[in-house]
Amino acid sequence: MCLAIPGEIIEVREGDDLDRTGRVRFGGIVKEVNLAFVPDAKVGDYALVHVGVAISTIDPEEARQVFRYLEQMDELAEIDAPPA
């Protein structure tokens, strides 16, 4: 099963259509994410991210709800864990 995780966009780096990137915060960690598929996304928006690519934007309350579900399932530790 594939899972997209919501994250808050904290920085956007404009580029041509395929080079648009940004920094996205997932709980306590920040990752570099490709924003090419969400051209209207801006700082403060929440995006669903799958394998380093933002695939859509999401309502902030819905993002918080997903984090609550992940917390209840004890899955946030996996997101915060350093790469092996």
Total domain count, the chain? 1
Alpha carbons 72 and 18: distance in angstroms, whole number: 36
Element (H, E) at 68: helix 60-72
Could you give the C-alpha distances from 66 to 10, 13, 24, 76, in angstroms and in order? 19, 26, 16, 11
Of 78, 46, 83, give the one whose Cα is nearest residue 65. Answer: 46
Q: Is the pLDDT of residue 16 over 90?
A: no
Quick: pLDDT tens for 35-47: 999 999 999 999 9
Question: For position 34, which CATH number holds?
Answer: 2.30.30.140
User: Which residues span the domain enclosing 64?
Assistant: 5-80
Write out pLDDT tens, residues 47-84.
Answer: 999 999 999 999 999 988 888 887 787 765 555 555 55
